[in-house]
């Protein structure tokens, strides 16, 4: 096998677990949005005009559902399940690409500033090493911050989800994120993947 192809294969395999880590991070942050839904709803409602007139909706008379509509409904459900399954399979790689751009660009922009503070030369070697470290720090932050926000959700007056369930779910998702990233970095060491190729 060609060295370049072998290197690409190793980095893709390693970054698959990075993609899973980002995917679970997205789920963590989505869970936080669910926990703070009432606050977000009140915040959005504050900007909406409260003097809008609500028109009464006319009463509808229910009619028996035909077998044709049941068949169409079943086909739609099957299609949606197939689409959901496809999205679940493809989502980690899509999230990985997007997250790599966002996280790596953030790390790249901070690297020269940190090098200046550390009084180190702004050369490619130092920048690659520091970017790799900053990406790791950002990944840890992506895992820890949602846990803190989940703990703080205890102080929300009108919680929509029991605090125990909120914390257990948050810790479970954080655990999955952490395991995925740990596997990724173990593979980086074992397979000797270049730091610049780590997503």
For residue 2, what pLDDT band results from cuts at 50, 70 and 90? Answer: low
Instruction: For residue range 125-178, list pLDDT tens digits in order.
Output: 888 888 888 889 999 999 999 999 999 988 888 888 889 999 999 999 999 999
Q: What are phi and psi of 75, to 5 degrees?
A: -65, -40
For residue 91, what pLDDT band results from cuts at 50, 70 and 90? Answer: low
Q: What is d(CA 173, CA 22) in angstroms, rounded to the nearest whole number?
A: 11
Instruction: For residue range 60-79, list pLDDT tens digits in order.
Output: 555 566 677 678 777 888 87
Q: What is the CA radius of gyration of the chain?
A: 23
Tokens, residue 60: 């509808």
What confidence score (pLDDT) does residue 149 get?
A: 94
130: which residues sit within 8 A by CB, 6+ positions away?
107, 111, 114, 115
In percent, the amount of the chain with pLDDT more than 90 equals: 25
């Amino acid at each position: 096998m060609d060295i370049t192809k072998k290197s690409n294969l190793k980095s893709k395999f390693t970054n698959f677990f990075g993609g899973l880590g980002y995917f679970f991070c997205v789920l963590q942050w989505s869970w936080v949005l669910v926990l703070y839904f009432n606050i977000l709803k009140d915040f959005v409602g504050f900007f909406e005009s409260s003097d809008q007139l609500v028109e009464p909706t006319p009463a509808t008379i229910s009619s028996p559902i035909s077998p044709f509509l049941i068949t169409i409904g079943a086909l739609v459900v099957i299609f949606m399940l197939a689409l959901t399954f496809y999205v679940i399979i493809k989502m980690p790689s899509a999230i990985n690409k997007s997250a790599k751009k966002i996280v790596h660009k953030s790390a790249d922009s901070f690297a020269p500033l940190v090098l200046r503070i550390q009084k180190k030369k702004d050369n490619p070697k130092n920048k690659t090493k520091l970017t790799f470290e900053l990406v790791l720090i950002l990944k840890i932050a992506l895992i820890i911050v949602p846990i803190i926000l989940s703990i703080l959700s205890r102080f929300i007056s009108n919680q929509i989800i029991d605090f125990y369930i909120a914390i257990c779910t948050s810790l479970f998702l954080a655990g999955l994120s952490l395991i995925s990233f740990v596997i990724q970095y173990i593979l980086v060491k074992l397979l000797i993947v270049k730091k610049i190729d780590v997503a």
